Structure 1
Amino acid sequence: MVRDGGIQHYYTLFGKDKGQVVIGDPDPSKNVIKLSLEDFDKEWTRVALFFEPGENYIKYKEEVPGLLSFLPIYFVVKV
């Protein structure tokens, strides 16, 4: 993609919804946005990368600590 000012950029394409393209933009000020097909076509440089898991791919689920995981620390500090 070529953004404002001719800057090269990339998006993650999620799909199409009601005539608009749903994309993920790594720019934190944008996140997931919808572009009209016309605007998408103006920016797209006709280059696409496709990824799929290989035969040795192992799905990994990251353990994210919840709020309760901080309670033991709270009580140790409070005492």
Structure 2
Amino acid sequence: MTDQYIPKLRQRFLEDMRIKGLQPKTQTMYLRAMREFTRYLGHSPDTATSEELCAFQLDMKEKGVGAPIFNN
């Protein structure tokens, strides 16, 4: 898959993780968390509100899953 087929937001997320020096396994876990967040929202995460983020984290907590911490 070439970069032209990767959505812009995902590409930026990958670049940011590489800049931070995150290990491949950590990057995979973060991408999985972002997919779950996107499914929960039903729209692109770049338009998520802080209220939606909080609701997602509470939902994950209630399900007994460690809620990922996203920086605003």
Where on the TM-score scale, by shorter chain, does this alignment land: which range?
A: under 0.3
Name the structure with the higher helix share: 2
TM-score (norm 1): 0.22
- When Rg is computed on C-alpha atoms for both structures, the one with the higher figure is 1
Name the structure with the higher strand share: 1
